[in-house]
Structure 1
Amino acid sequence: MKIRSIYMALALLLASCARDGQKPLEAVVNEALARAEQQTLLMAEKYAGREGRLPRTWENGEDVSSDSRWWCSGFFPGTLWYVYENTRNPKVLEYARMYTSRVEREKYTTDNHDVGFMLYCSFGNGLRLTGDKAYEEVLLTGARSLATRFKPQVGLIRSWDHNRDKWQYPVIIDNMMNLELLMWAAERSGDKSFREMAVSHADKTLEHHFRPDFSSWHVVSYDTVSGQPHLKQTHQGFSDDSAWSRGQAWGLYGYTCMYRLTGDARYLQHARNIAGFLIGHKNMPADGIPYWDFDSPDIPSTPRDASAAAIMASALVELSGFVEPAEGEKYMAFAEKQVRTLASPEYTAQPGENGDFILLHSTGAYPFSSEVDAPLTYADYYYLEALTRIKQKLQS
């Protein structure tokens, strides 16, 4: 009943947009997907002969690539899978398989927590769309590798191994995004320990990572003996007490996902609380594209982060289906605003420009002057996911 009501509300919203002279949302989504296919094919063709390389960003007029070790390696293959899902272009499928294969060795990675990003965005989408049994083995092996980073005494998956002089057991909010792989592995393998790890991680993150206003710290380091936090700070945000925008989006997405996978009402309520913080923040720009940090002292003369908007929009579309109709309509309206902005010439590159990335104006790590006002693979990935989710709602 809630889902049906959301669709009715979406239909009313579309009718209102038409009356206001806006292009219908369906047309915006379809045109955005067509442009995405153009750019993604150009990118795939460009990198096809660069064995083992994957796009990372584009700066100073030059390509910046990585091998599979970079934490973002799974996003371009995932973008190809979303393009294929919407177009069924056999050439896109060929490229999706090829670039996904470039990430396979990461199924053995045990020295960082990004295995979920690397494998579930690539092989996970590939399995969902093709049913290729070989992809199952990669994902299960990857889940076992990720599970080695879970310490029962702490109850969380360790994020990083560096800065040991400062952090005993660092966990970053981004780590919520890797739980879906463990939840899938539990269901597929029948090994309940994967689910227990994911739930434990989500529970302790909910308890220790969030402030009373439902903003989150970026890094929480835990004492390895007591299992309690000994340090809460930032690594990529403005300050330890600021709200780094992409981190807030990771939290929103992560708890929305965990509600879908567990049905635990606590996770739904927490996702709603984070959504309220983001949508109602006094420094949220009118067009829905956050500044890189909500507490940057240079607002409004500071970079935006299209990647944070894309992650947030995708999460809000999903969250809208889990709540009462009026609340769901609010989430859909905000996600629509974000997608319309991202699909506009201000944020979408012309074909063949922007190093063949889709979106402009993302911010990777501002404090390190890294990938500032630049295209990023994960911005494109979550933008395609948001478009796909909206399209599916419109067609239902």
Structure 2
Amino acid sequence: MDRFWEVSGQKIELIDREYDASQGSPVFTVEGKYTTRGWTEWTQGFQYGSAILQFDATGDESFLNMGRQATVSKMAPHVTHFGVHDHGFNNVSTYGNLLRLMNEGRIPENEWERNFYVITLQASSAVQAKRWTQLPNGGYIYSFNGPHSLFADTIRSLRSLAVGHQLGHAVMGENDKKTSLLERLVQHAKTTADYAVYYGEGRDYYDEWGRTAHESVFNLNDGNYRCPNSQQGFSPFTTWTRGLAWIMTGAAEQLEFLKTIDDSELEPLGGRESVEAFFVKMAKATCDFFIANTPTDGIPYWDTGAPNLYQLGSDVYDRESEPFNTAEPVDSSAAAIGAQGLMRLGRYLGDEKYTAAGLTVMQTLLSDKYLSLDAAHQGLILHSVYHRPNGWDHIPAGQSVPCGESCMWGDYHAREAALYLQRLINDDPYYTFYLQK
């Protein structure tokens, strides 16, 4: 852990010195240098949030100053960005972490600074929740593809709604109609659980416990579900492992958040027993699928149905991952995201199976095999993949699949998981995205 944070700090400083911010937000590395890739601006909060986490873990105030100043000067457009489903990524990682640190007494209490964080998080939560498709029985926050589209990723943006609800906020509509952020949180999660996650109950020929679809498509004329789809995975009927990981961790952390909610608030939404039951089922199914379909060191390949995966043999999940193979790339960012879900679910359920799996992932990510020890390489965790179908990822000379590179979300979530683990090891206050009472 000490080595990890030392390397992490070096990478943050390296990016701060070398990266040309006029390009846009850093997304992934090419030959060890962070570059941008236009789709939506969803990674900037991870860049500055990483500096805030670095301070949290080490106490080095230079990183606090870096993260705080960048949050104030750079993040405002993300607070009122109506075009994305990424508010939980950008704004809770920055404003949210700063407010949490103030609540913990890690940074000095300042009334105006506190109010600044509060109002930005309240605004962000309402903007995110307003991006809503109503269904006959519920609804969902729709992706940047449009109102017909639910992404697996978006369960992680429920962070924004949770914090907004804690801060006493709501969504205000026409004629002053007030909608609960908690209601939208639970309804989006239920739609994700019902349509993005499979439980071996015969929904289609490929239905398997814990399999996930990256995108779920709905008919806006009548609200009916139409089909699974995948934007970044191999197919609608295979599992893109980063989408799987978003649900693993999003579900587990929301289970922890629900413990802070009074029973009376959950009663109109089906009651605590019903709500927690579908969250637990979703979290267990996805975590079980990850464990069953990942090599023994905890680093998955980018998609469980990737077309050339067969070339690695039928025992591909019975041995360690092979990032330099010639068939299909691994995705360390999926591991970095999913590790936290495994550890949180293990603690929530008291089930050592999930805890041990999460610790295995972390042991591998922090090892020489995946930790980027080259002082000139700006990335922290090696061997991530962004968009394999589009061919966006760099393939080094002499290799046939992407490898050796990093991404901003993988690096951030490795830091977040490491901070979570470090606090457990040191018996420090339990790390949560939400504001503890």
Q: What TM-score results when the alignment is normalised by the length of structure 2?
A: 0.77
Q: Which residue of 1 aligns with 2:45?
A: 74
Residue number among 343, 351, 354 corresponding to 1:331 in the alignment: 354
Flag the 1:67–1:87 CA change in 2: closer, same or farther, 3 A: farther
1:239-297 deviation line (CA, Å, top 9, x unaligned): 1100111011011111112211224233123211211111122xx11211000011213
* Alignment partners' CA distance in 2, 1:235 and 1:51: 28
Give the % identical residues. 25
Q: CA deviation at 1:61?
A: 5.3
Residue number among 401, 404, 410 corresponding to 1:379 in the alignment: 410
Residue number among 248, 251, 265 corresponding to 1:252 in the alignment: 248
Flag the 1:223–1:362 CA change in 2: closer, same or farther, 3 A: same
Flag the 1:66–1:233 CA change in 2: closer, same or farther, 3 A: closer
Q: Which residue of 2 aligns with 1:221?
A: 217
User: Quick one: which amino acid aligns to residue 90 of structure 1?
Assistant: E
What SS does structure 1 have at the residue aligned with 2:167?
Answer: helix
> Is residue 242–residue 293 contact of structure 1 (8 Å, CA) maintained in 2?
yes
What SS does structure 2 have at the residue aligned with 1:220?
Answer: strand
Alignment map for 1:36-75 (pairs within 5 Å) = 36-47=8-19, 50=21, 53-60=24-31, 62-65=33-36, 70-75=41-46
Q: Tell me the C-alpha RMSD between the 2 structures.
A: 2.1
Corresponding position: 1:302 with 2:328: yes
Corresponding position: 1:195 with 2:179: no
Q: CA deviation at 1:78?
A: 1.4
Corresponding position: 1:152 with 2:134: yes
* Alignment partners' CA distance in 2, 1:296 and 1:197: 34
Corresponding position: 1:118 with 2:79: no
Q: Which residue of 1 aligns with 2:347?
A: 321
Flag the 1:138–1:350 CA change in 2: closer, same or farther, 3 A: same
What SS does structure 2 have at the residue aligned with 1:93?
Answer: helix
Q: CA deviation at 1:380?
A: 0.7
Q: CA deviation at 1:351?
A: 4.7
1:129-162 deviation line (CA, Å, top 9, x unaligned): 1354111111111112112211334611111245
Q: Which residue of 2 aligns with 1:140?
A: 122
Q: CA deviation at 1:67?
A: 9.2
> Is residue 347–residue 355 contact of structure 2 (8 Å, CA) maintained in 1?
no
> Is residue 318–residue 389 contact of structure 1 (8 Å, CA) maintained in 2?
no
* Alignment partners' CA distance in 2, 1:227 and 1:180: 25
Residue number among 229, 232, 249 corresponding to 1:233 in the alignment: 229
* Alignment partners' CA distance in 1, 2:228 and 2:39: 30
> Is residue 54–residue 68 contact of structure 1 (8 Å, CA) maintained in 2?
no
> Is residue 35–residue 351 contact of structure 1 (8 Å, CA) maintained in 2?
no
Q: Which residue of 2 aligns with 1:311?
A: 337
> Is residue 176–residue 251 contact of structure 1 (8 Å, CA) maintained in 2?
yes
Residue number among 134, 142, 157 corresponding to 1:178 in the alignment: 157
* Alignment partners' CA distance in 2, 1:143 and 1:252: 22
Flag the 1:279–1:69 CA change in 2: closer, same or farther, 3 A: closer
> Is residue 308–residue 379 contact of structure 1 (8 Å, CA) maintained in 2?
yes
* Alignment partners' CA distance in 2, 1:30 and 1:333: 21
Flag the 1:68–1:76 CA change in 2: closer, same or farther, 3 A: farther
* Alignment partners' CA distance in 1, 2:130 and 2:143: 11
Q: Which residue of 2 aligns with 1:267?
A: 279
> Is residue 112–residue 160 contact of structure 1 (8 Å, CA) maintained in 2?
yes
Q: CA deviation at 1:218?
A: 0.8
User: Quick one: which amino acid aligns to residue 367 of structure 2?
Assistant: S
* Alignment partners' CA distance in 2, 1:343 and 1:76: 19
Count of paired positions: 356
Q: CA deviation at 1:231?
A: 2.4
Flag the 1:105–1:69 CA change in 2: closer, same or farther, 3 A: farther
What SS does structure 1 have at the residue aligned with 2:303?
Answer: coil
User: Quick one: which amino acid aligns to residue 132 of structure 2?
Assistant: F
Flag the 1:337–1:290 CA change in 2: closer, same or farther, 3 A: same
* Alignment partners' CA distance in 2, 1:68 and 1:183: 26
User: Quick one: which amino acid aligns to residue 155 of structure 1?
Assistant: G
* Alignment partners' CA distance in 2, 1:190 and 1:99: 25
Q: Which moved more, 1:235-244 or 1:294-303?
A: 294-303
* Alignment partners' CA distance in 2, 1:232 and 1:53: 32
> Is residue 218–residue 237 contact of structure 1 (8 Å, CA) maintained in 2?
yes
Q: What TM-score results when the alignment is normalised by the length of structure 1?
A: 0.85
Q: CA deviation at 1:105?
A: 1.4
Flag the 1:99–1:352 CA change in 2: closer, same or farther, 3 A: farther
